[in-house]
A and B are shown apart, each in its own frame.
Chain A
């Protein structure tokens, strides 16, 4: 907890970031990069999402918050169709439109979709390969063979993930030799190496210690230069620190979606307020 004090300092840069969104309407209704329209989602017979509507704007950090089991991860995992892996999981109503295309249409190529919508998981999960091979994995499977291209992409991705200085001398070393925070940043590098439009992050800091958390948070705010970031978090401080917009979910429903300052300063819904004041959680 020695690391805690500097934490509030960092978000000082945040208001600067936040200014443009203050200009846009408090409840973003304009067409976003990702628009969720009336989405109902089921795990087998169990319904996990109820009529979710959401417009996620480009080049912003959008946070999903809510009590455990409310469907944050489920919603996030709908954005790259990784839920398809789960037998019985399906949507029964609604659409998820990314770049003007409903990604649940039958003619959608999930491979291509996932190249445009990258994902970082809660528990860092690098492959048992070298750092270099981890980063260029997505390029390799996309068929890129030229060494200079791979090298360039690797360097860029590691720089984006703020990991380049720490690893540039040991690219051939096994990724498992890194620390937890480094591994999570490696996973971020791995996801951004193919330059996706959107980066999904499901509690990316929950397995990290405070210092590593801080580094990753800092990184996330930087990522908006290139990417649209959607992050699920349990930590409301974190949402405040990194998110431009925050969506509050409860029991599979989207209760409120607005500017982070609005959500935490003047929530419109009673449930949101209760949650933020710590009635549940």
Chain B
């Protein structure tokens, strides 16, 4: 501090002299401190910009060097461009054409599986009892055999031994052992109440006589089997029309499948060629680029020679598509017969099914089948209107991404990058989580701030905030091991079946993920809501109480309305936390990439789904850098980023809109 002695030597003027300079530089400390903070802010902003830059240049754009050094993002080579190329091949090679045939076939499959289950349910009304009796008897037999396995194996070994065959008395001894062991086990075996006492005795008799070298089933079990077969036959007779109609429906698709397979083969071959040719073109471009910067003329010549030798002849899409188009006639020929079978099924479905299961299944089928007929007819139209050389505009690849219903990757057929299933998954899970977390966190905030004693506050607040410290992977474990089982077992409870979606098929589903995300969001939402309630001026509650309001009335009529802006902001920030969370959804949401079937209403939440965050975490590590799939994942990242920005913006807006005016 060189100024110090000078200042003291001249006390009169010292007050007016600037403070000592910083490390001998001509700047004062205030400025240094200011600079430090402004630099920190600047670094943050630059980082944010770099993140956006990366997302953009890895996703929709690609960097190209202009003037040799200036990186400029261009659409060429970016996601939209490469995806357009892929969709172009999909069309030119005729894959799209094949998918027109594929669509009715997929529908056929789902409808058939429903019908088959309906048939099973109907047949069961006749044959179930006898089959259950047969199965129970066979099960008892297996049990007994398993439990006497030790003795049985010893006997079997003795019987199998050839060298010197086992002496008969030894075999007799072993047989005795088996008999005894078996009898013990039979006595222990509990038979289900499907049998009368007399039958039980018969069955036990049968079981006691079991020997390992016995080929046939014992007589009573044989009787049961015969009875079951007879009942089965009777059942099939009773529902003969329905059964045959469904059987016919199944095979009716076979010829179409055959045609479709033939078409697929043609289309795939063309696609293969197109991909090959594209790669060769790339290779040539790289060789030429290498040639341009080659050091010696020999090297240059070698590169150019290689480039010239690479086969890049354009593919004759037009010629190759002809045989494929010709298949349309084959397909068309099959349609009348197929539609006749479909109509037959519609006619032969029992109008009054005997079981509830069949009733719901058939109701669905009755709705689906006319639609199916329309799809089949439409497929012919689509095929005749289809043009292999219709160009694909750039915007179409964007809309295929934004509004596409399929996210299919690494497929042997065609990759699609449509984010709708991921987006719906993310949204449904987030909304579920929000709906669960909101009442809990706000109720907890109200309780802690308004009703809890000081001691309770001291316990509850840190506990809720502690939830935040649980690593999300651990929550994922809990979701898989505890919550999943809990949901499953609850959904099987008989008197809860009125809840839509029960019984649930999958333990890992959107509801499960929603529960855990709600748990993760509760601390954030609780703290913010509690702050908001705490910030309501005391004068309001005092005035309310002085007017004779009870505590509860004060809370709900004055405090909560006055805290609305803070509570809404808490909700939105909680939503931001939920939508960006990755680990839990990846582990728990079930990861089925499909648009949820919203016909289940509220029950939709019990379906598995995949999410925007989950797909990035799952796939980014496995795709090759710069491939369309890689770029598509970055596009998903951009969408996530946009959603987060939107939520932040919305929360600012909400806070401003609901803020209390100052007095």
Question: A residues within 8 Å of B by Cβ?
Answer: 80, 82, 85, 87, 111-115, 118-119, 121, 123-129, 137-138, 140-142, 174, 176-177, 183, 187, 190-191, 194
B537, B550, B557, B562 interface centre (most CB from chain A within 10 Å): B557
A85, A118, A190 interface centre (most CB from chain B within 10 Å): A85
Given contacts A82-B542, A125-B539, A127-B540, contact A141 B663 (CB under 8 A): no
Question: Are B544's CB and A127's CB within 8 A?
Answer: yes
Question: Are A85's CB and B547's CB within 8 A?
Answer: no
B561 proximity list for chain A (CB < 8 A): 128-129
B548 part of interface (Cβ distance < 8 Å):
yes
Question: Are A125's CB and B537's CB within 8 A?
Answer: yes
B308 part of interface (Cβ distance < 8 Å):
no
A–B complex contacts, Cβ < 8 Å, 26 sampled: A82-B542, A82-B546, A85-B542, A85-B545, A111-B550, A114-B545, A114-B546, A118-B546, A123-B539, A124-B663, A125-B537, A125-B540, A125-B542, A125-B543, A127-B558, A128-B561, A128-B562, A128-B660, A129-B561, A138-B548, A140-B557, A141-B547, A142-B548, A177-B661, A183-B663, A190-B543
Question: Considering only CB atoms, which chain B residue lies closest to A133 in the complex?
Answer: B557
Question: Are B543's CB and A141's CB within 8 A?
Answer: no
Question: Are B663's CB and A112's CB within 8 A?
Answer: no
Bound-complex Cα distance A142 to B557 (A): 13
Q: Mark B515-541, 1 if CB is under 8 A from A, else 0.
A: 000000000000000000000010110
Shortest beta-carbon distance, B271 to chain A, in Å? 66
Which 5 A-B pairs give the minimum distances between C-beta atoms?
A125-B539, A114-B548, A138-B547, A119-B546, A115-B548
Question: Are B660's CB and A118's CB within 8 A?
Answer: no
Question: Are A121's CB and B548's CB within 8 A?
Answer: no
B44 part of interface (Cβ distance < 8 Å):
no
Shortest beta-carbon distance, B199 to chain A, in Å? 71
Question: Are B558's CB and A112's CB within 8 A?
Answer: no
A111, A128, A174 interface centre (most CB from chain B within 10 Å): A128
Shortest beta-carbon distance, A103 to chain B, in Å? 13
Question: Are B661's CB and A194's CB within 8 A?
Answer: no
Question: Considering only CB atoms, which chain A residue lies closest to B661 in the complex?
Answer: A176
Bound-complex Cα distance A119 to B544 (A): 10
Question: Are A137's CB and B544's CB within 8 A?
Answer: yes
A142 proximity list for chain B (CB < 8 A): 548
Question: Are B539's CB and A121's CB within 8 A?
Answer: yes
Shortest beta-carbon distance, A228 to chain B, in Å? 16
B553 proximity list for chain A (CB < 8 A): 141
B234 proximity list for chain A (CB < 8 A): none
B663 proximity list for chain A (CB < 8 A): 124, 126, 176, 183
Question: Are B539's CB and A118's CB within 8 A?
Answer: no
Q: Mark B634-663, 1 if CB is under 8 A from A, else 0.
A: 000000000000000000000000001101
Question: Are B548's CB and A194's CB within 8 A?
Answer: yes
Question: Are B542's CB and A114's CB within 8 A?
Answer: no
Shortest beta-carbon distance, B160 to chain A, in Å? 90
Bound-complex Cα distance A191 to B544 (A): 10
Question: Are B550's CB and A80's CB within 8 A?
Answer: no
A112, A114, A191 interface centre (most CB from chain B within 10 Å): A114
A114 proximity list for chain B (CB < 8 A): 545-548
Question: Are A137's CB and B547's CB within 8 A?
Answer: yes
Shortest beta-carbon distance, B342 to chain A, in Å? 62
A118 proximity list for chain B (CB < 8 A): 546-547
Given contacts A121-B539, A127-B540, A128-B562, contact A141 B549 (CB under 8 A): yes
Bound-complex Cα distance A86 to B578 (A): 39
Question: Are B661's CB and A187's CB within 8 A?
Answer: no
Shortest beta-carbon distance, A118 to chain B, in Å? 7
Bound-complex Cα distance A155 to B12 (A): 71
Question: Are A137's CB and B546's CB within 8 A?
Answer: no
B540, B544, B548 interface centre (most CB from chain A within 10 Å): B548
Question: Are A191's CB and B542's CB within 8 A?
Answer: no
B546 proximity list for chain A (CB < 8 A): 80, 82, 114, 118-119, 121, 191
Shortest beta-carbon distance, A142 to chain B, in Å? 7
B562 proximity list for chain A (CB < 8 A): 127-128
A112 proximity list for chain B (CB < 8 A): 548
A82 proximity list for chain B (CB < 8 A): 542, 545-546
Bound-complex Cα distance A194 to B557 (A): 18
B545, B546, B561, B661 interface centre (most CB from chain A within 10 Å): B546
